[in-house]
Structure 1
Amino acid sequence: MDSLSSGPVAEVLRRLHQEAEAADAALMQSLASETSSVEQAMRQVVEAEAKDLTGLYHGYADNFLSVSPTFGRFLYMCARSCKARRIVEFGSSMGISAIYMAAALRDMGGGRLIGTDLEPSKAERARANVTAAGLGDLVEFRVGDARQTLQSDMGGDVDMVMLDGAFTLYLPILKLLEPYLKPGAIIIGENAFAQAGGYIQYVRDYQNGYLSLPLSFDPERGNELTVRTK
């Protein structure tokens, strides 16, 4: 069973990817004109986070900043491969990646996805999009600083984590979730560049209980696949 191929999930995702492309076109063009690479653009974002993290992401309230269809399918496949029952997402934006992962939960018989976003308007739109895809009963969105909203109430062990929020918070959020991670849990860091708060160094050190590699099918974006080993 694969709900990405047809039906409400496929239709909603098709619409949302078109909306995302239109909404983010000007921003992507601006970043491309100002920088010579994706990594350089992300470095600028990291520097801006250090100055005013809340203000920076408030300025992106109307931008999707979402995963690509290819990466979305990768998330779906990861969730199915680890037979996830509980997934946590840091930085849900308009809910596109949440739909991919929640679709995997639905296709495996159910589960729970806990999503987060700093912007209330984004969380509201994400809820509407997830509901339109017929997945609303599987997803909870928590609004506010994830360092507070993810401190408790996970509801049990976590099988998969998607990190796609403020780059400099990847490591603090991962450490916050560590007590809940099952051995074999999958962690995916979107745009997890080495300079963003020490995340890459941490997950690539086996002594911390992880094995980790860059994703070769999308190397320029700095995406990282990590597995919990203890």
Structure 2
Amino acid sequence: MTITLHEPRVRSVLDRLFAAAESDDDFEPPWDDLLSVDPQERSDVLAGVYMPISARGGDLLYGLVRSSRPRTVVEFGTSFGISTLYLAAAVADNRAGHVYSTEMSAAKVTAARRNLDEAGLGDVVTVLPGDARQTLADLPGPIGLVLLDGWKEFCLPVLRDLEPRLAPGALVVADDIDQESMAGYLAYVRDPANGYVSVAFPVEDGMEISCRE
């Protein structure tokens, strides 16, 4: 059985992107200033910053998509497409489904599409440019898996927008749960009254995996 995630053309793109993302460690954005500006302006200022998921987090995403076999996968926050590649590889190996990802930075949209095409996975992904609260508004359900990895203050609003279209048993994965700005999101998905069973998974920066009732 061929595992697309291990194919040379996919691994070479991932290796290149992870290597480039290491430069993020040498750059400390002025977060106090950026968090007070319009999200689009913030995205444009950080158009060259990767802010990727970890490789182990990517493997986890691949496994979740392979096992749950969602017909529709939604990603909030494409960036350069690292996490998107893991999702797309799993969808390709399932031989069913499609990934809809959304990104505010026009430069990153172009780069992500190029990276996906280079990896041979562009046909199973649609990258939607713009604000996720608008670009995902008309996306039909049922949605089987959601990855929330965009601006943290919008993770909960995006999830709430998508909830009416979530399939029973849908998985919702949120990255960077160690950040203080994720506290409200975590309180929501960890409250049984909101219809989730939720658990933190110990990969770099932390991921929350929530199963919808």
CA contact (8 A) 2:54 2:203 kept: no
Partner of 2:212: 228
Quote the residue 1:21 is aligned against.
22
The match for 1:150 is: 136
The SS at the match of 2:25 is helix
What whole-Å deviation, never above 9, does each CA across 1:100-140 have from its counterpart, x for those lacking one?
Answer: 00000001113110000011110010000001111111000
TM-score normalised by length of structure 1: 0.85
TM-score normalised by the chain length of structure 2: 0.91
Q: Supply the AA of the counterpart residue of 1:75.
A: L
C-alpha deviation, 1:13, in angstroms: 1.1
Alignment of 1:183-194 (within 5 A): 183-192=168-177, 193=179
State which of 187, 190, 199 in structure 2 corresponds to 1:204. 190
Q: Which runs of 5+ in 2 are unaligned?
A: none
Verify the 8 A CA contact 2:137 2:161 in the aligned structure 1: yes
Following TM superposition, by how much is the alpha carbon of 1:71 offset from its aligned partner in structure 2, in angstroms?
1.0
Q: Is the 8 A contact 1:94 1:126 kept in 2?
A: yes
Range moving further from structure 2, 134-143 or 13-22? 13-22
Correspondence for 2:68 among 61, 68, 82: 82
How far apart, in 1, do the equivalents of 2:122 and 2:167 lie?
Answer: 25
1:176 aligned residue (141, 151, 161) = 161
Between the aligned partners of 1:49 and 1:165, the Cα distance in structure 2 is 13
Aligned position for 2:100: 114
Q: Does the Cα contact within 8 Å between 1:46 and 1:168 map onto a contact in 2?
A: no
> Contact 2:59–2:86 (CA<8 Å) still a contact in 1?
yes
Could you tell me which residue of structure 2 aligns to residue 9 of structure 1? 10
Distance in 2, matches of 1:195 and 1:15, equals 30
Aligned length: 211
Q: Which amino acid aligns with 2:191?
A: D
- Quote the offset at 1:198 in angstroms: 1.8
Amino acid at match of 1:63: V
- The one-letter code sitting in structure 2 at the alignment partner of 1:3 is T
Which amino acid is 2:12 matched to? E
Counterpart residue identity of residue 208, structure 1: N
Q: Distance in 2 between matches of 1:79 and 1:104?
A: 6
Cα distance in 2 between the residues matched to 1:89 and 1:214:
19
Q: Distance in 2 between matches of 1:85 and 1:7?
A: 26
Compared CA separation, residues 153 and 118, structure 1 to 2 (3 A)? same
1:55 paired to 2:50: no
Q: Which residue identity is paired with 2:25?
A: A
Rate the CA distance shift 1:214–1:58 in 2: closer, same or farther, 3 A. same
Amino acid at match of 1:68: S
Alpha-carbon contact 2:70-2:97 (below 8 Å) kept: yes
